[in-house]
Amino acid sequence: MGISIRELALITMADNTIHTPVLLERSIELLAPALDAPGAVLVDGTLGMAGHAEAFLQRFPHLTLVGIDRDEDALAIARRRLEPFASRTHFVHAVYDEIPKALVSLGFSNAQGIFFDLGVSSLQLDRVERGFSYSQNAPLDMRMDASTPVTAEHILATYSELELRRIFYAYGDEKLAPRFASRIVQFREQQPLTTSAQLVELIIAATPAAAQRAGHPAKRVFQALRIEVNQELSVLERAIPAAINSLEVGGRMVVLAYQSLEDRIVKRELQRRSRSTAPAGLPVELPEHKPELKLLVRGSEQASDAEQQTNPRAKPVRLRAIERMRVIS
């Protein structure tokens, strides 16, 4: 089969921007007891450019991979990168809260392992035209899945001042949210807000000099817009329970989160399902009250100092991992 010009461009870009997978050896160590099982299936819910996936397939020669990504460009790169494992790989264009549906469509009832590497990928950040970065001028897009209709430009053009303030507060923890929301509404009354350069210039002009010394003024606004465009937190709130429900007993899941909002959602669900449901004072814990999950790490783990120095992307990561102990009927 020939390769299209678009695929060639994507592969060339991937070769130039390939990154070292974060916490790779620790993720393999935690998932290994489940992935060593004969016929094991691993779902990589955030396949990206398949850095982690390639390592899992190399390390576990009998493993079958189900790679899910909402970004069709990422899937094209992953398919090419994982060609040596073609007989053991399946690719699904979907959002990661659709894991149960993806497994059923491929004839699998459950999985032995599930892996999430959350957040925006290097591929998306490096594609200038996708509009994720505040450091380069581009259309205000920010869609992880280019086939979906809502862009950052649409949000900035249609959300009320109150709605803009809400997402800047909630998803960016932006203290200047009221000021930024007001300036955006004023600006769009005069002309459309269509490029990242326009938005950055507007935000910088609205930011007091003292606040500008604390970091780039647009960072939190861009984060908030990206989360809203892709509905990242609401998807994650559905995805974690759906993933757990797709694990067989003895199966394991590892989640890498890069911001506190994501990590909070993961932590809440894992802790809830790793507690006994026995009523207080019950002298003996009955089987039906035993925790559904076992936490495999205490709290969350960070990358080592050495990894953070060699791989800057690892600095904010928080790893959480669980094993499924029983199925609640």
CATH classification of the domain holding 216: 1.10.150.170
Q: Domain boundary residue among 230, 253, 285?
A: 230
Q: Are 139 and 127 in contact (CB under 8 A)?
A: no
Number of structural domains found in the chain: 2
User: Residue range 263-279: average pLDDT?
Assistant: 90
Number of neighbours of residue 144 by Cβ within 10 angstroms: 23
Q: Please, which pLDDT band fits residue 266 given cuts at 50, 70 and 90?
A: very high
Residue 238: predicted pLDDT: 97
Write out pLDDT tens, residues 146-202.
889 999 999 999 999 999 999 999 999 999 999 999 999 999 999 999 999 999 999
Q: List phi, psi (to 5°) of 63.
A: -80, 140
What Cα–Cα distance (Å) separates residue 214 from each residue in 132, 197, 208? 21, 20, 11
Is residue 253 located within the same domain as residue 144?
no
Q: Position 67: which residue type?
A: G
Give the separation between CA 322 and CA 329, rounded to whole angstroms: 19
- On whether both 291 and 318 belong to a single domain, the answer is yes
Statement to judge: residues 70 and 216 lie in one domain: no
**Structure-derived torsion over alpha carbons of residues 7, 8, 10, 11, reported in degrees to the nearest 10:** 110
Binding residues: 50-52, 69, 96, 117, 124
pLDDT of residue 128: 54
* Phi, then psi, of 147 in degrees rounded to 5: -85, -10
> Which residue's entry shows tokens 């003024």?
217
Distance of CA 143 to the CA centre of its chain: 13
- CA 42/CA 103 separation, integer angstroms: 10
pTM higher than the cut 0.85 = yes
Say whether both 12 and 113 belong to one domain.
yes
Q: What number of other Cβ atoms are within 10 A of residue 167's Cβ?
A: 20
Q: Which amino acid is at 162?
A: L
Is the predicted pLDDT of residue 9 greater than 60, yes or no? no
User: Is 57's pLDDT higher than 80?
Assistant: yes
Write the pLDDT tens digit of every residue in 12-55: 544 544 578 999 999 999 999 999 988 999 999 999 999 999 99
Residue 104 lies in a domain: yes
Where is pLDDT greater, at 25 or 119?
25
pLDDT at 285: 66
Helix-then-strand count for the chain, H and E: 15, 7
Amino acid at 287: P
Q: Is residue 82 part of a domain?
A: yes
What's the average model confidence in pLDDT over 311-326? 95
Note whether residue 80 is domain-resident.
yes
Q: Judge whether 288 lies within some domain.
A: yes
The CATH number for 278's domain is 3.40.50.150
Is pLDDT of 106 > 50? yes
Annotated binding residues for S-adenosyl-L-methionine, written as ranges, equal: 50-52, 69, 96, 117, 124
Q: Which of 230, 251, 283 is the last residue of a domain?
A: 230
Question: Rounded to an integer, what distance in angstroms lies between the CA atom of residue 318 and that of residue 259?
Answer: 8
DSSP classification of residue 43: E
* Cβ neighbours of residue 32 closer than 8 Å, sequence gap 6 or more: 59, 60
Residue 185 near residue 168 (C-beta atoms within 8 A): no
Task: Return the exposure string of 286-318: e unless at least 16 CB atoms fall within 10 Å of the residue's CB, then b.
Answer: eeeeebbbebbeeebbebeeebbeebebbebbb
In a domain, 224, yes or no: yes
- 3-state secondary structure (DSSP) of residue 177: helix
Domain residues for the domain of 113 are 5-123+232-324
What mean pLDDT, rounded, does the chain reach? 90
At 276-293, the pLDDT tens digits run 766 766 666 666 668 999
pLDDT at residue 1 in the model: 43
Structure tokens at 116: 């999430």
Same-domain pairing of 308 and 159? no
Residue 190, helix vs strand vs coil: helix
Share of the chain above pLDDT 70, in %: 87
Could you say which DSSP state residue 140 is in? S
